[in-house]
Structure 1
Amino acid sequence: MADLILKDVAKSYGDVNVLNDINLDIKTGELIVFVGPSGCGKSTLLRMVAGLEKISGGTFTIDGQVMNDVPPSQRGIAMVFQTYALYPHMTVRDNMAFALNIAGKSKAEIDEAVNGAAEKLQLKEYLDRLPKALSGGQRQRVAIGRAIVRDPKVYLFDEPLSNLDAALRVATRIEIAQLKEQMPDSTMIYVTHDQVEAMTLASRIVVLANKGIAQVGTPLELYERPNSEFVAQFIGSPQMNLLAGEIVETGAQTRVQTDQGGGTIVSDYPSNADDQGARVRVGIRPEDMVVTDSADFAYEGKVAITEALGEVTLLYFEAATGQDPVIGKRPGVHSDDRHKTLRMSAPPEKVHVFRDGVSLHYR
């Protein structure tokens, strides 16, 4: 059982600020995922929680106890690394038992902990093998098992699946989700650059950018109600389309005329009289775009490329020089849409409006 609170936490290397004003409250039993672009500080923040990096400012507490200067070994934290970090000359059993042996636990205690973790991770038949005789996914499970046997307050995962191939990533991701269900009171923090891992594993996602937290929320909150253009395009694949436009009608619903194609479209995001005539960007996810003949539409253009994926077809529209192509995603196979000029719209509740990079919904 562990509640973690980071208050005004900062990290600097000399005169270089890496993270500022990190405020985060993590409750017992949550699986929190840190995501963000390369270099945003997500692994650094994880290492600060672990005690492997010194906190430059602010306070970090576990269950009310300030941890800023507490050594890593005394924080009640276990970390699973990207590179497994297994001892190659030790069996799976000995790798998992190593920390307990160092701690002076009895053989009975060690056997109980190792067998229990092996049962959870389906490793019992591999306990007497060396790491070289295991697949990448099995090695990662051993690394996780080595953390479980310590019975820590908090589990930290630093991109644990990034060294696995695509099939093993999916299988191991499912295993981690199942493990969390078996350990509902365990608190976990997980760093990844993979959106699918974040969306499928997280209780809440912390999006990091510009040396701080851009937004915190459940996966669906971030997907359905991003607070900024950055979060809107970072969450979701393909990323959200952003179309320049101008507000032409304000109120409980907002009507925007877009520059590309000259259409107008309605959004459920409310606006006020001061927004009339304001330059904005309309955000629509590719999967929310639909072909229409209506006078209300967001975009009209010629399809340059189609990618038929079986269950869906991606439509890439011709783009002006220096602009990202508008992308549509249609259910089923629509290879014949290539070179067609299509008019695209979306339901009002799926139309996002951003002014100065900030969502009207969160002003």
Structure 2
Amino acid sequence: MADLKLTNIKKVYNNQVEVMRDINLDIKQGEFIVFVGPSGCGKSTLLRMISGLESISGGTLEIDGQLVNDIPPAMRGIAMVFQSYALYPHMSVYDNMAFSLQIAKVSKADIDQQVRKAADMLQLTEYLDRLPKALSGGQRQRVAIGRAIVRKPKVFLFDEPLSNLDAALRVATRMEIANLKESMPESTMVYVTHDQVEAMTLADRIVLLSAGNIEQVGPPLELYANPRNVFVAKFIGSPAMNIIPAKITQTGGITGVQIVAQQHVSVPLNTPDKDHDALVSFGVRPEDLFVVTEGDYLVEGNIAFIESLGEATLLYVKVPNCDDMVIGKLSGTTEFKRGDQVKLMTVPEKMHLFDTTGLTYRNAI
């Protein structure tokens, strides 16, 4: 198993279209790293550069301390699991998993040992004699993962492996991948997904990408609790964080922030040196809002839409002079209906403040 080191990695198409720029990332042996981001952000391109399926336009890529920029994929010590299972339909599960070892002239005894060990790990032992057409989608994906395991690679690469599965199978297979990582603690794994639930539940660290740049790297809950900018704040979490226009003010010698749409609400700041009257953005997650009937409140408005999910209720509140509706996520069911006026409040430690460039004011509130 191996470390990965990406230094100033770039990808340029046709000598003019730069799709990845100055990517710097250290991945330690045994880490489960998830690349996540919106469509077109470059996550699959970055994974393919690691695998050798895409050339590197600039920078260096090291696997286990070895420079591999110009080394072909087969010589990099990696195994890749794709969105498409790409199984040989005429071969049994056993033969699909054994094929790469047969090509490498591994002895039959070693092949049998490695295939059966991987099958046991993935709960495929009873299916070894079946053809792929006799398997479910989740089972086929497990065969594709098993085919990668038997090669004993330095690094496992997963390119959206659950995208073709239905919701129930996605959950089940996600749990199996998590269990696989637990059973192979020294294995280095890099996983690409557009699904933030997969990212949050599987990753040791998330690499959040946008437009060819890394926006933030860190443990899932670090990105959730301490986003470095508005993009991260809105991408991590569902529903997305509410971002509300605000400005910094000073009253009675105390610097605070007022929400522009609701001038009477003021939250004190810990940093009194900020420019007064500067326009900023105020952020709070839907699940951190609660309804109040008296006393201080953050925003007030009329409910425009309600989503009742059983375990939670989403209130979409139209706040005067605010372009986007504020979403409140309340536990359980409620008696609210469209048109009702509500006041929403939160606690100071759940509030976020962003400057005009979208960066977080650290420890401001």
Partner of 1:155: 156
Residue aligning to 1:276: 276
Structure 2 residue 335 is the aligned partner of structure 1 residue 340: no
Check whether the contact 2:8–2:24 (CA below 8 A) recurs between aligned residues.
Answer: yes
Q: Percentage identity across aligned positions? A: 61
Q: Deviations over 1:104-133 (max 9, x none)?
A: 100001000000000000000000000000
Q: Which runs of 5+ in 2 are unaligned?
A: none
Asked whether the 8 Å contact 1:233–1:240 carries over to 2, the reply is yes
The structural deviation recorded for 1:296 is 3.5
Amino acid at match of 2:346: A
Q: Does the CA-based 8 Å contact 2:299-2:319 persist in structure 1? A: no
Kept in 2: contact 1:41–1:208 (CA 8 A): yes
> Following TM superposition, by how much is the alpha carbon of 1:285 offset from its aligned partner in structure 2, in angstroms?
0.4
Deviation at 1:293, TM superposition (A): 4.2
CA 1:119–1:10 in 2, change beyond 3 Å: closer, same or farther?
same
Q: 1:82 to 1:254 in 2, by over 3 A?
A: farther
CA contact (8 A) 1:263 1:297 kept: no
Query: How far does the alpha carbon of each residue in 1:231-285 deviate from its partner, in whole angstroms, 9 at most, with x for none?
Result: 10010100000000111259xx963111223342437x74342332211110000
1:29 match: 30
Whole-Å Cα distance in 2 between the matches of residues 188 and 338 of structure 1? 47
Deviation at 1:308, TM superposition (A): 1.5
1:150-190 deviation per Cα after TM superposition (whole angstroms, max 9, x unaligned):
01010000000000000000000001001100001100000
Q: Distance in 2 between matches of 1:271 and 1:359?
A: 13
Secondary structure of the residue aligned to 2:336 is helix
Question: Pairwise mapping of residues 133-212 of structure 1 onto structure 2 (< 5 A)?
Answer: 133-212=134-213
Q: Judge conservation of contact 2:8–2:60 (CA < 8 Å) in 1.
A: yes
Question: Is residue 119 from structure 1 mapped to residue 120 from structure 2 by the alignment?
Answer: yes
1:354 aligned partner, one-letter code: F
Q: Which residue of 1 is the match for residue 13 of structure 2?
A: 13
Q: Deviations over 1:86-114 (max 9, x none)?
A: 11111000000010001110000100000
AA of the residue aligned to 2:226: R
Query: Is 1:354 matched with 2:360?
Result: no
Aligned length: 360
Give secondary structure in 1 for the equivalent of 2:362. helix
The residue that corresponds to 1:313 in the other structure is: 313
Residues 1:79 and 2:91 are matched in the alignment? no
Which one is further off, 23-32 or 254-263?
A: 254-263
Please list, as runs of the form range in 1=range in 2, the aligned pairs for 1:49-60 lying within 5 A after superposition.
49-60=50-61
Compared CA separation, residues 5 and 254, structure 1 to 2 (3 A): farther
C-alpha deviation, 1:321, in angstroms: 9.4
Q: Could you tell me whether the CA contact under 8 Å between 1:35 and 1:206 is conserved in 2?
A: yes
| 1:238-317 equivalence runs, <5 A | 238-249=239-250, 255-266=256-267, 270-293=270-293, 295-317=295-317
Deviations 1:64-99 (A, max 9, x none): 111101110111100000011111111000000010
Q: Aligned partners of 1:30 and 1:254: how far apart in 2?
A: 43
User: C-alpha displacement at 1:342, in angstroms?
Assistant: 1.1
Amino acid in structure 1 at the alignment position of 2:309: L
Distance 2:294 2:256 in 1: 15
CA distance, structure 2, for counterparts of residue 254 and residue 286 of structure 1: 26
Partner of residue 132, structure 1: 133
Tell me, what secondary structure is at the counterpart of 2:133? helix
CA distance in 2, matches of 1:45, 1:4: 13
Q: Secondary structure at the match of 2:344?
A: strand
Q: TM-score, normalised by structure 1?
A: 0.95
Match of 2:331 in 1: 331
Q: Relative to 1, partners in 2 of residues 1:209 and 1:362: Cα closer, same or farther, differing over 3 Å?
A: farther
C-alpha distance in structure 1 between counterparts of 2:20 and 2:79, whole Å: 23
After TM superposition, give the deviation of residue 211 of structure 1 in Å: 1.8
Distance 1:117 1:249 in 2: 64
Counterparts of 1:70-109 in structure 2 under 5 Å? Answer: 70-109=71-110
Counterpart CA distance in 1 for 2:270 and 2:71 is: 48
Distance 2:322 2:295 in 1: 28
Alpha-carbon offset, residue 192 of structure 1: 0.2
Write the distance in 1 (CA, Å) between the matches of 2:270 and 2:61: 38
Structure 1: state its 5+ residue gaps: none
Which residue of 1 is the match for residue 233 of structure 2? 232
Distance 1:325 1:335 in 2: 20
Q: Cα gap change, 1:255/1:179 in structure 2, threshold over 3 Å: closer, same or farther?
A: same
Cα shift at 1:290: 1.3
